[in-house]
Amino acid sequence: MQAVWYTLNGEAKDVLQFGEMPTPQPQSGEVLVRLMTSGVNPSDVKSRRARPLSEPIIPHSDGAGVIESVGSDVSSSRIGERVWIWNGQWQRPHGTAAQFIALPAEQAVPLHKSVDFAQASCLGIPTLTAIQAVNLAGDLQNQTVLVTGAASAVGHYVTQLIKLAGGHVIGTVGTEERAVHAKKAGADEIIFYKTQSVSEKVLALTHGKGVETIIDLDFSGTIPLINEGCLSKHGQVIVYGSNTQKVNVTTRPMTYGSVQLKFFLVYDLKPMDRKNALDRMQHLLQTQQLIHSVGPRFGLNQVVLAHEMVESGKVIGNVVIDIS
């Protein structure tokens, strides 16, 4: 099969290789999926730069395609089924940047007919992260939520889900183009974090109260907002990322504000949380309630360009690899 892989950490142009690799075979409990698309996420870039290596790594966790064959203990009725994939490359060497992937049957989820393969490659990391974040936030009816990076791949879905839950969204963005993108997802107010004081704007928009919830892609950048009163008393911060590993926290504003911090990693959800997120996903797809944002698209032999596009931070929508 054709595939992309790396055996060294480093820059995309230096380490990513395109060529032929053996086609995997499904083992007991597994399915073999002929991939049509592969989604590229920031975590794929981070892994390429720093993941410990003991064998060639085929990158990317997200993708979609058709089940080609099945291993023992999997019904042959699944052959020919359209599916989307989650955790394709989590703690395993072979991801979705290839023509085929063999993986546990439960990680190949039936794909609703209303969703095409490009859209389906957005469902793994971006959409499941958004669903889990909103699930952790609880009842958001009539709540005001600050979504940092409202035009990011995750933030775009988070914004939609908050609106579906009856909440009010204040979103931070960097550019006018991203503001348009966030508003299309349902953001009620926009803050340009590069040129405006986020805390001042939040306090003005909430009449000095602050927001009840922050759903956050960069905890290191959100700590100052908590210190500056952006979060109301007994508020919560749902964290799914941070640009730095070490963060200095001033405990007094958090203690006196009774702030709740909830961190999670979408790759490592509890079984019940995973089930709830997948069930919620299927309902949203069946009822066609989500707007999917497919960004630039590349061929399998252009994965270097795709990674560089993600690294640029300028892309709007999910970068997708089309696999023939």
pLDDT tens sequence across 108-132: 999 999 999 999 999 999 999 999 9
At residue 253, the pLDDT reads: 87
Q: Are 84 and 121 in contact (CB under 8 A)?
A: yes
**Half-sphere exposure in the Cβ direction for 286 (13 Å, CA):** 7
100, 56: one domain = yes
Stretches where the chain sits below pLDDT 70 are none
Domain that holds residue 254: 130-267
**What is the per-residue pLDDT for 248?**
86
| Alpha helix positions (H), 20-166 | 42-50, 117-120, 128-137, 153-164
Give the DSSP H/E element, type plus range, for residue 103: strand 100-104
Residues 306 and 261 in one domain: no
Amino acid, single-letter form, for residue 59: P
The C-alpha atoms of residue 169 and residue 211 are separated, in whole angstroms, by: 10
Please tell me the predicted confidence (pLDDT) of residue 80: 98
Nearest by Cα to 70 from 28, 112, 99, 98: 28
Same domain (yes/no): 254, 137: yes
CB distance 144 to 277 below 8 Å? no
Residues 160 and 259 in one domain: yes
* The pLDDT of residue 108: 98
Residue 282 within a domain: no
Does residue 284 sit within a domain? no
Question: One-letter amino acid identity for 103?
Answer: L
Residues facing 214 on adjacent strands: 146, 237
CATH for 296: 3.90.180.10
The rounded percent of the chain whose pLDDT value lies above 70 is 100
Same domain, 95 and 176: no
**Half-sphere exposure of residue 194, counting CA atoms within 13 Å on the CB side?**
7
pLDDT at 138: 96
Determine whether 54 is exposed, middle or buried from the number of CB atoms within 10 Å of its CB (0-12, 13-18, 19+): exposed
33 and 113 share a domain? yes
**Does pTM top 0.85 for this prediction?**
yes
- Whether 105 and 144 share a structural domain: no
Total tally of structural domains belonging to the chain: 2
In a domain, 211, yes or no: yes
- What confidence score (pLDDT) does residue 115 get? 97
Residue 236 pairs with which residues in a beta bridge? 213, 260
Residue 313 lies in a domain: yes
> Same structural domain for residues 30 and 156?
no
Structural contact between residues 179 and 155, judged by C-beta atoms closer than 8 angstroms: no
